[in-house]
Structures are given as structure tokens and as C-alpha cells.
């Protein structure tokens, strides 16, 4: 198969496996999604979903969150890890949203990435899932699978994102991002597959004999 043929096989198979792609982070609007995605750094979605109800009981809008002492935010999110850094970011971005954006979450990458604690991946998730803007956020699952499936070199996350955007139709990016994550967690995890075990790896490379050594994100 060519790279383009592999991409089309992946797109079709994932659409069959995951016709519905609910966002795995519980949220009510763009602001609560932004906070949940920020908290998910080096933390599982399940843990974030355990933490956010308590945090959002304190405040669930930028106007209210900017009034919550940073120490209280830190206490509420402590089990997510990196709590001091994340609490500072949540407090800071809430103030910036109020001061610079009228309390609304902006729908542009540049504006989101200017917020404290918001990197390119977080911003991409927010614009894609909250606003429907085509984006292809690359997490560790996507970076790993793109290499195992021969879709990207694995040089770095930016290179993987660029490669996937070139291979897949723009209108598929937002759903495909989640489909690849779901598949990676269920069938092609870091330890559960080495490029020769799961269905898609075997279909794409039936003659592969050696494990694929993937580069980390």
C-alpha cells in the first residue's frame, strides 16, 4: 500500500469502529472544555472527570473563576498532578479572558495559545470540539499510531500533525482525531501492540516481522 492508501484504509476502518465520537472530557461549554483539556496534561481523562465537578462547583465561568483564590483551585485539582502550575494557569487565563475577550473563549488558535498554560494541542482541541473549526490535535496516541501505520516519520509532534493534515480530508480531522485516540487506547496501546499485533497494524503491514520502535511525542 502507498501512504495515501494506508490513510484511506485507516479512515474507513475507524469510521466503522467509531461512528460516534463523544468528547471524553465532561464539559458544558467552551470554558469548561478549555479547563478540562488543560487539566488532562499528564493526567487521564477519567481522573479529570473526577476532579472537574468539584472545581466547577467553585466556579464555572471566567468571571467567577478569576475570583477563586489560586490555593483553592490547587486544592480542587491536586489529584490531577502538576497542580500548582495548572492552578496558576487556570487563574491567569480566567482573568485574561475577562480582560481581553469579554469573558468569552476565543475561537482562534493564536488567541488561545496566548492564554497562560494553553499550548498548541490544547488550543487545537478547543477550537475543533467547541467551535467545529477543523484541527488535528496530536497527542501521544496519535503520534504513536501515525508511526506504526507508516503515516508520519515521528520526527516530532508538529511533523506528525502536518503529515496527517496532508493525508486526510479537512472535513474528517475533528472526528478522526478522536477516532485514532479511541483506537489507540483500546487496541494499539504503547504496550498492547508493537506494530504487529492489532487489526489495523496487521492489515497495513502483513509482512512486518520486527517491532516498530516509535519516537515519543
Domains of the chain, each with CATH number or no CATH: 3-20+136-204 (1.10.1670.10), 30-131 (1.10.340.30)
| CA angle, 195 then 201 then 206, to 5° | 100
* Residue that the C-alpha cell 470554558 belongs to: 31
Which residues are catalytic, by number?
121, 139
Percent of the chain whose pLDDT exceeds 90:
98
pLDDT at residue number 26: 96
pLDDT at residue number 179: 98
pLDDT at residue number 217: 76
Q: How far apart are CA 177 and CA 101, in angstroms?
A: 28
Q: How far apart are CA 109 and CA 125, in angstroms?
A: 10
Q: Grid coordinates representing 139?
A: 497527542
Model confidence band, residue 65 (pLDDT cutoffs 50, 70, 90): very high
Q: How far apart are CA 174 and CA 60, in angstroms?
A: 25
User: Is the model's pLDDT at 119 over the cut of 90?
Assistant: yes
Amino acid at each position: 500500500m502507498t501512504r495515501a492508501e494506508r490513510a484511506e484504509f485507516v479512515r474507513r476502518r475507524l469510521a466503522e469502529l467509531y461512528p460516534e465520537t463523544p468528547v471524553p472530557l465532561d464539559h458544558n461549554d467552551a470554558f469548561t472544555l478549555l479547563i478540562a483539556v488543560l487539566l488532562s496534561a499528564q493526567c487521564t481523562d477519567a481522573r479529570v472527570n473526577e476532579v472537574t465537578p468539584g472545581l466547577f462547583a467553585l466556579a464555572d465561568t471566567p468571571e467567577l473563576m478569576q475570583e477563586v483564590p489560586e490555593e483553592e483551585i490547587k486544592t480542587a485539582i491536586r489529584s490531577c498532578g502538576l497542580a500548582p502550575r495548572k492552578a496558576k494557569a487556570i487563574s491567569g487565563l480566567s482573568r485574561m479572558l475577562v480582560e481581553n475577550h469579554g469573558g468569552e473563549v476565543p475561537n482562534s488558535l493564536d488567541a488561545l495559545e496566548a492564554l497562560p498554560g494553553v499550548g498548541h494541542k490544547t488550543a487545537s482541541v478547543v477550537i475543533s470540539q467547541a467551535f467545529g473549526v477543523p484541527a488535528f490535535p496530536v497527542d501521544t496516541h496519535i503520534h504513536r499510531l501515525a508511526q506504526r501505520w507508516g503515516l508520519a516519520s515521528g520526527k516530532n509532534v508538529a511533523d506528525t500533525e502536518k503529515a496527517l493534515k496532508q493525508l486526510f480530508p479537512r472535513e474528517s480531522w475533528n472526528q478522526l482525531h478522536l477516532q485514532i485516540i479511541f483506537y489507540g487506547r483500546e487496541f494499539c496501546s504503547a504496550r498492547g501492540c508493537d506494530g504487529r499485533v492489532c487489526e489495523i497494524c496487521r492489515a497495513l503491514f502483513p509482512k512486518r516481522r520486527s517491532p516498530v520502535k516509535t519516537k515519543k511525542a
